[in-house]
Amino acid sequence: MTRSRAAGIVASMVLCVTAVVGQGAAHAAPDRLTIARTGTDAAIIKVPARNDTLAVGNRLRGAVYTWSKGDPPCDPTGSTVYAGHAWRAGNGVADRWGSLRRGDVIKVAGCRFEVTRREYWPASRRMGSLYSVAGPARIVLVGCKADDYSRRTVVFARKIGRS
Amino acid sequence: MSSSRERRHRTAGGAAGQGVRRPSIHRGVSRLVTLVLAVGFAVVGVAGAASAHHNTINGSVVCKTGGGWAVTWTVENSETRTESITASNRPSVVPVGTQLTSRQTRPFTETVTTKPTSPLTLTLSARWSNGSTNTSSGSIPVAKFEDGCKVTTVQPPTIPVIDDCGPGNARYGQVPSGPWTSVTNPDGSVTVTANQGNQFPGGKKSITYPVPADSNEPCPVPTVQPPTVPVVDDCGPGNAHYGQVPSGPWTSVTNPDGSVTVTVAAGNQFPGGQTSVTYPAPSDSNEPCPTPPVVTPPVVTPPVVAPPEVLPAEARVVSARARMIDKCGTRGDVYKVVKRSGVVYTSKGKVLRQGVWLKAGAKRVTVRAHAADASYRLQGKQVWKMTFRTRPCANAPEVAPSTGAR
């Protein structure tokens, strides 16, 4: 248990309030991320940041990675980032994220999100702002562009409710 | 010579009459005296002349127009002095007291309706102004009364009076036939006039029947049966009323209370002599109307209200609740008060919006719950003191993860 979480629990006991504490620490990690349009059904794996970048794992399929200190996806505020691999030869979990359109639904940890926009960022673009703990509740999918690894597919989806 | 001596004369030229000198027992003596006086005593002759006071009475008769006989008597005063009638056997013709002047001849007339059976005689006694008296007569033989002048007395007819019902309409009917003629006068009277040779009793030639008196008997009024007025009673309560009144010799009016009064027209009556009949307001059968088609009212879902936890008569018991999220830093710290009917949340005196996440904006936030009004009573926790830590967030990775080819 981290210090902050322990402090949150203590605070909850003292104030008798239901409190969600910490940078995603108060909630259990979402189990899976599913996207009907693209056939995505992946496990969510929390990973740390290393060298100022998200330390994603090696699984091409069936897994997406999120920052272990990132904001929980179902919080009323904040933004959660999920990264997935795209494989030029196919078989990557994010191979088809570029086909998502406005209105497509993404389900994460019991919450539903609706795609609001899709962008392609250069790999060099800083994306620390995508991890904000404030602002509207949303998730951000980040993956390499399958046909151009120098670019990133970035999909924004806002929270629309519980599943 | 003496006023009491009677003399009889023959009428001097009377066509029908004849004067009659009455014989006297002293006739011879009188003649003798007269002769003596004429011879030697002229003055006595004057006295003898006084004995000649008399009236010469002649009578004539003719048929009278219309029947009967018209008798005319002429009385001639034989003297040069006035006389006065002292007695008359026909006073209606020559009344007592009638005077004749010197040598006057006066006619007197009368009508005779019945043929006499003996000579008709007029006998007059007179007194002259010198005191002399005399009684003289004149007669008309029966033969002088011609039969063609006979007048028949008939009874006047009885004229029927027609008096129909109603006032002022009495009138005479047909005059029975007879020896008369009749005429209806403008005022309604009838004059019946006997034909020639006829007369009514009393010698009347005509009789006028006065205007007949009206009995003013009222005419019988026909009785009509009052109409049967239909009652219209539609379904439903209290709407019974009379329909159209049948036509007839009456008028009708509907009264404010729903009754109908039928008044018979003039000249008619209802049974019992009634002039009007009032039909009472009809009673309603209160027959219900057929059930209208069932219309399902729209289902209105009442607003969801938290069920009271106490008896309805008491104040509703509600519970309040507040939540908080303490994220790293302060920008993501939020809290929310649960939406509850009957609860008002405040923080620093300001009423909080319910059901939405609110930014904390400070390390400590105190939320208080109040009952909205006296009909609510809070149960459970009512004050929340929230503390938001300010520890900084970890540095988010800025470099895009390597998710491409490996």
Q: What is the pLDDT of residues A76-126, one digit of tens each?
A: 999 999 999 998 777 889 999 999 999 999 999 889 999 999 999 999 999
Dump pLDDT digits (tens) for B181-202.
999 999 999 999 988 778 898 8
**From the candidates A4, A9, A13, A15, which should be mutated to test the interface with B, based on the most B CB atoms within 10 A?**
A15
Inter-chain CB proximity B327 and A76 less than 8 Å:
no
Question: Which residue from B minimizes the CA distance to A143?
Answer: B403
B347 neighbourhood in chain A, CB within 8 Å: none
For residue B110, the model assigns a pLDDT of 92
Would you call B42 an interface residue with chain A, using a CB distance cutoff of 8 Å?
no
- The reply to whether residue B327 touches residue A20, judged by beta carbons under 8 angstroms, is yes
Between A154 and B298, residue with greater pLDDT: A154
B397 shares contact with chain A (CB less than 8 Å): yes
- B381 CB near a chain A CB, below 8 Å? yes
Cα angle, residue A147 at apex, residues A143 and A152 outer, rounded to 5°: 30
Overall size of chain B counted in residues: 406
- Partners of B386 on chain A (C-beta within 8 Å) are 15, 17
Residue A15, pLDDT above cutoff 80: no
User: Is the CB of B327 less than 8 angstroms away from the CB of A18?
Assistant: no
B84: β partners: B99, B127
Residues 6+ apart with CB under 8 A from B162: B170, B171, B172, B173
In this predicted complex, what is the ipTM?
A: 0.76
A-chain residues within 8 Å CB-CB of B397? 49, 52-54, 67, 127-128, 131
Structural domains of chain B in order of their starting residue, each with its CATH number: 18-149 (2.60.40), 152-209 (no CATH), 316-387 (2.60.40)
Q: What is the C-alpha end-to-end distance of chain B, expressed in Å?
A: 221
Q: How far apart are CA B76 and CA B60, in angstroms?
A: 14
Residues of A with Cβ-Cβ distance to B389 under 8 angstroms: 4, 7-8, 11, 21
CA distance B334 to B131: 182
Tokens found for residue B376: 């609510």
pTM: 0.43
Describe the crossing of helices B27-40 and B42-50 by its angle, rounded to 10 degrees.
140
Ordered alpha helix ranges (H), B283-327: none
Alpha carbons B318 and B307: distance in angstroms, whole number: 9
pLDDT at residue A26 greater than cutoff 60: no
Q: Say what the pLDDT of residue A97 is.
A: 93
Cβ within 8 Å, pair B405-A149? yes
pLDDT bin (cut points 50, 70, 90) of residue A8 is very low
Q: Among all residues of chain B, which has the CA nearest to that of A84?
A: B403
Six-digit token string for B286: 């209160």
Contact B331 A134 (CB under 8 A): yes
B14, B120, B126, B130, B345 from B57: Cα distances, Å: 8, 12, 12, 21, 166
H or E segment and range at residue A11: helix A3-15
DSSP per position, B98-131: -EE-TT-EEEEEEEE-S--SS-EEEEEEEEETTS
With an 8 Å Cβ cutoff, is B391 touching chain A? yes
Coil, helix or strand for B296?
coil
As a whole number of angstroms, the distance between CA B215 and CA B222 comes to: 20
Q: Place domain A28-162 in its CATH homologous superfamily.
A: Sortase (2.40.260.10)
Give the other-Cβ count within 10 Å of A139's Cβ: 27
- Distance CA(A156)–CA(A120), nearest Å, equals 11
**Residues in chain B where the model's pLDDT stays below 70:** 1-51, 66, 150, 292-298, 300-313, 405-406
Contact call for B336 and A76, based on CB within 8 A: yes
Q: Does B65 touch chain A (CB under 8 A)?
A: no
Check residue B302 and give its pLDDT.
63
Residue in chain B lying closest to A74 (CA): B325
CB contacts of A125 in chain B (<8 Å) are: 400
Give the separation between CA B195 and CA B153, rounded to whole angstroms: 11
- Per-residue pLDDT tens digits for B259-308: 999 999 888 888 888 899 999 988 888 887 777 666 666 676 666 666 55
Q: Domain residue spans in chain A?
A: 28-162
| Separation in Å, CA of A103 to nearest CA in chain B | 24
Are B329 and A133 within 8 A, CB to CB? yes
Q: From the list B325, B393, B395, which residue is nearest A76 (CB)?
A: B325
Nearest neighbour of A23 by CB, restricted to B324, B327, B398: B327
- B275-288 CB burial, b ≥16 within 10 A, e <16: eebebebbebeeee
